[in-house]
Structure 1
């Protein structure tokens, strides 16, 4: 599984929101340049796979998951938007404190590339389709600078969830 770390992290209450990956931004990976094409996660999201939200890619620090509805993902023009309803755990409280202070490094994601899902041109790689396994709030440096995370109040998160449901069923 490949891992990528990205962008900025912000906090507002007990729900984290932001972008786990952004389309079109360049990242320097292993001596090359990598970008993610718009819609690269669309097939993975449509397949109903259970995606985890973790801290620093640690499967022992689960913040949420799509199967339970505590992690919501939405493929948007900018990239993969997320909302995580944080549990009352030590890991979640620590992440929330880091995000609120502006100390968290950004977001990251773990994925595999299905056959034909990427395109190489010399040392430039474009991810056109990925199988998403997890997203992570990271405490270090992101590979992609365009990601973001912020904390939101429960009321704002519920309003966002209602708007998302309306978009899905419109």
Structure 2
């Protein structure tokens, strides 16, 4: 069964535009191609993750993505089928345009972005294809996400945390576990327990 994953990036050029009529538009990149993630490694290996150019092509063909705040479905900001969320893949990454609602949530978020309190965006997705590479000499494992099968939501977020960081680390250990430290099996058990906790909390 495919896992839902979330990634958070500093929002490249996240900007708030106000029209003369009072409309509020939030624009920026929800994901940037070729940019390394933070080190997801554990033990002897450094683990980095990249999104390949064109990774969103399949997802954008069929998506009805939502924009929500802090990944809370109750805090809706826009939706593709309603024309209040626009997504476009270009050479840089996945660009998003959210036409914010004239609600307390929309107005508060606009002010927070203008003040610089909100600087990160996250996206929730299901991977279609990925590729792992290993450099034993440098002790580096690299995951490249080649295709995102489903794009569930994008989200301006308060905290730049990775809800599934440990799961990404665990997957790396599953692939390279026999070549890292002798504590790998114990760490895998820890990650399995942590994943169950995240599922109970509804974070994955």
Q: Which range, TM-score by smaller chain?
A: 0.7 to 0.9
Partner of 2:138: none
- Determine whether 1:43 maps to 2:58: yes
Under a length normalisation based on structure 2, what TM-score does the superposition of the two structures give? Answer: 0.65
Partner of 2:131: 119
CA contact (8 A) 1:51 1:133 kept: yes
Q: 1:29 deviation in Å?
A: 5.4
1:10 pairs, out of 4, 9, 15, with 15
Q: 1:7 deviation in Å?
A: 1.3
What whole-Å deviation, never above 9, does each CA across 1:84-115 have from its counterpart, x for those lacking one? Answer: 1111222222211110111103111000112x
Partner of 2:88: 74
How many residue pairs match? The answer is 140
* Cα RMSD after superposing both structures: 1.5
Gaps of 5+ in 1: 144-170
Under a length normalisation based on structure 1, what TM-score does the superposition of the two structures give? Answer: 0.77
Gaps of 5+ in 2: 19-23, 42-46, 135-140, 163-204
Q: 1:30 deviation in Å?
A: 3.2
Partner of 1:102: 116
Higher helix fraction: Structure 1 or Structure 2? 2
Q: Which structure has more RCO (C-alpha within 8 Å, separation ≥ 6)?
A: 1
